[in-house]
Structure 1
Amino acid sequence: MRDPGGAFLPAADVGDGRNPRVVALGGGHGLHASLSALRRVTENLTAVVTVADDGGSSGRLRRELGVLPPGDLRMALAALCGDDEWGHTWSEVVQHRFRSEGELHGHAVGNLLIVALWELLGDSVAGLDWVGRLLGAHGRVLPMSSIPLDIMAEVAGVDPDRPDEITTVRGQVACAGTRGQVRSVSLIPPDPPASPQAVKAVAEADWVVFGPGSWFTSVLPHLKVPELAAGLIATPARRVVVLNLSPQRGETEGFAAHTYLEVLVEHAPRLTIDAVLADAASVDDVAALERAADKLGARLVLARVAVDDGSPRHDPARLAAAFADVFRGETGVSR
């Protein structure tokens, strides 16, 4: 197994030299974290990415050109770049944002590159594949749907004086930045077409990874695309949920570790999970988390996966080692 500057774990560390087919679901920084770790564990890696972003450079391109929002797709591609000079350089290039007083201000280079290939090729998946080849990406990036989507959330307590009042909020940026607490999400349109390649990848996977990431705007939307949701339930692949290290203001403020799983059940009651991976130091009530995992049919794996500086960020090497343990079926707890 290749190891350019530590890009992959030795084959023996993955278990019997096995190279599992892994599909990771999500978007934004959370998916970037899981992909940065997973590319060290397997060479058969596919990211299935949310396409509901309506802010920043992605939102501007989406509104002006009618394309899928490219930002989360770009971040996933950057995460799949290797640790050698080529990978570092291209990761920095696609993530680079212009700073100016003009129209280019805030646009990411990778967003413009992706959209240019979409216009030239007329195919969103083919365009992403071409960018992946240019970057030397260790895996493939696919949109979860073939059309741009909007997220609609039911939010409690938008008005602090009416904490029990439910308000409907539309748009990923608005949902992520709400002053209230998100209760549930849905998509507009309500029955969007899934990316056929994403459905195929899920059906052929050995493992499907949910999270970490913005729970309501990056992780759960995959379960609201009917064909993709059906595939996630029917796949023979095993499923692992990676929990966030800390709550996110608005979306998951006040969440305990077990709350993420309870919300997952509410949005996909037929979904079963094989493993729940959490940072040992981030779980206050292990017993409650074990009970929530058990309801999903999952074993709980606690590991040290956070960086040492106290910030809520996953360490790629530690998370990679934890994924390797999960894929081998190990359940040891390290604190």
Structure 2
Amino acid sequence: MGKRIKPKIIIGSWVFLGVIGILFITLGLSSFMYNLVMTNSHTNFKMFFTITGILLVLISVKISIRSIINAVKNNKPNGNIGKEELNKMIYKDRMLSKGPKIVAIGGGTGLSILLRGLKEYTSNITAIVTVADDGGGSGILREDLGMLPPGDIRSCILALANTEPTMEKILQYRFKEGSLKGQNFGNLFIAAMNEIYGSFELAIKETSNVLAVTGKVLPMTLDDVTLYAVLENGDIVAGESNIPLKNKEALSKIDRIYMKPEITYPLAEAVEAVKEADIIVLGPGSLYTSVIPNLLVNDMSDYICESNATKVYIPNVMTQPGETDNYTVFDHVEAILKHSCQDLLDYVIVNVEKIPEETLEKYKEDGSKPVILTEEDEKKLKKLNIKIIKDNLIEVKKDYIRHDSLKASEIIFNLSKENKDKKAYF
């Protein structure tokens, strides 16, 4: 059956349900039709048909209205909506709602890019985002207003939002002059919501509602945390924004990271999402300042390890100066396991696409180079029973190298589907 017919079938199912309801009402109220169908006339049967018919009609109308509202809300069409377009919107909304439950963990640009692809495959997305940021506009708001940093969360909300391009441009706008220079309007919007509702958690939920977000965006914790890095030379660096700078100056490597306060708590919603997930994705994003901090929240790595979900890690395409200099794929994986548990990961998704030399020149100047998968890496990962998925995963836009969000999301979706089929079989 072709895809073009499926949306019509969905609309038709509501109409059919309503027609059945009307027929039941007619059988209950019309003596002529009732005697025609039933040989023994009983009031109880008439009441049954009438009440059942009314319920079916009400259900039909309710489902129809709810589906139309959800489809319009999630797709934000411009101008008038034709019948065919509405059918397609409703069909897409229905199909996405049946997609796998995906928990994406991380922060920064990497996670937000992946989320833009994931929302094309499922609406059952929970993004758990780091709140250890203390630099830039987020750091200023954190210090001035005593709120959690909104920057990474803002990026993830906008990635999952179903809003007009103009609204996204407004929320991404960064002031260039005056006392607000360098500050992002979206961050200020979340700060205002935080003041209005008196709760960062509620501010994020209401912002998500305003922007018709697909799925949920949750902070990793509501505690005000500071990130620390212990370098191999013994130095300790405080503050997320300082870690890559100080480490680069020290010409050392990061041994481990930790947070203060040492006891922090994840959100109940985040824990529930991890327990119910079909697949849990770590990254892409800064290894020590975006991905691993989420694993340091009390018991979170245990919840992930104990979950029946398939666990996947997507390392960055390029190394980050002062953080992952000269790291290979296995170095990334080893750091994650060191801060969690040895059997945390089932798969690692690796880019093997060759990056054009002219694009790499800019990155080489900054000391960044491609994250490669060596033969030794493959042997070590195999010993840990971590499967490797290799593919061409890069996308270059305006000389910036990023993951191809749709390609990576397709792999995750297919992986979730395959593992769900295996579980169903066994």
Query: What TM-score bracket applies, with the shorter chain setting the length?
Result: 0.7 to 0.9
Consecutive aligned runs of 4 or more in structure 1 exceeding 6 Å deviation: none
Which ranges in structure 2 are unaligned for 5 or more consecutive residues? 1-6, 8-70, 78-88, 354-369, 420-426
Equivalent-residue separation in structure 1 for 2:410 and 2:326 (angstroms) = 29
Q: Is 1:144 the equivalent of 2:220?
A: yes
Match of 1:181 in 2: 253
Equivalent-residue separation in structure 2 for 1:295 and 1:67 (angstroms) = 44
Partner AA of 1:317 in structure 2: L
Matches within 5 A, 1:258-269: 258-269=330-341
Query: 1 or 2 for the larger relative contact order (CA 8 Å, sep ≥6)?
Result: 1
| Larger helix fraction of residues | 2
Q: Secondary structure at the match of 2:395?
A: coil
Equivalent-residue separation in structure 2 for 1:44 and 1:220 (angstroms) = 23
Matches within 5 A, 1:1-335: 18-82=98-162, 86-102=163-179, 104-156=180-232, 165-177=233-245, 178-179=247-248, 180-281=252-353, 284-308=372-396, 311-329=400-418
Match of 1:160 in 2: none
Equivalent-residue separation in structure 2 for 1:197 and 1:274 (angstroms) = 24
Render the CA deviation track for 1:40-96: whole Å, top value 9, x for unaligned: 2211001101011111111111111111111111011111124xxx34233222211
Equivalent-residue separation in structure 1 for 2:393 and 2:188 (angstroms) = 34
Displacement of 1:286: 4.7
Equivalent-residue separation in structure 1 for 2:260 and 2:297 (angstroms) = 10
Give the root-mean-square deviation of aligned CA atoms: 2.5
Displacement of 1:117: 1.3
TM-score (norm 1): 0.85
Equivalent-residue separation in structure 1 for 2:311 and 2:393 (angstroms) = 19
Which ranges in structure 1 are unaligned for 5 or more consecutive residues? 157-164, 331-335
Render the CA deviation track for 1:139-188: whole Å, top value 9, x for unaligned: 211000111211100124xxxxxxxx221001000013331322211011
Equivalent-residue separation in structure 2 for 1:223 and 1:31 (angstroms) = 15
Displacement of 1:114: 1.0
Structure 1 residues 277 and 196: alpha-carbon distance in aligned structure 2, compared to 1, 3 A threshold: same
Residue pair 1:194, 1:228 contacting (<8 A) in 2 also: yes
Render the CA deviation track for 1:104-161: whole Å, top value 9, x for unaligned: 22211111111211222122222111111221222211000111211100124xxxxx
TM-score (norm 2): 0.68
Residue pair 1:52, 1:151 contacting (<8 A) in 2 also: yes
Partner AA of 1:244 in structure 2: N
Residue pair 2:102, 2:126 contacting (<8 A) in 1 also: yes
221-230 or 265-274: which moved more? 265-274
Residue pair 2:318, 2:371 contacting (<8 A) in 1 also: no
Equivalent-residue separation in structure 2 for 1:283 and 1:173 (angstroms) = 22
Structure 1 residues 51 and 204: alpha-carbon distance in aligned structure 2, compared to 1, 3 A threshold: same
Taking only the aligned residue pairs, the percentage that are identical comes to 30
Residue pair 2:394, 2:403 contacting (<8 A) in 1 also: yes
Match of 1:159 in 2: none
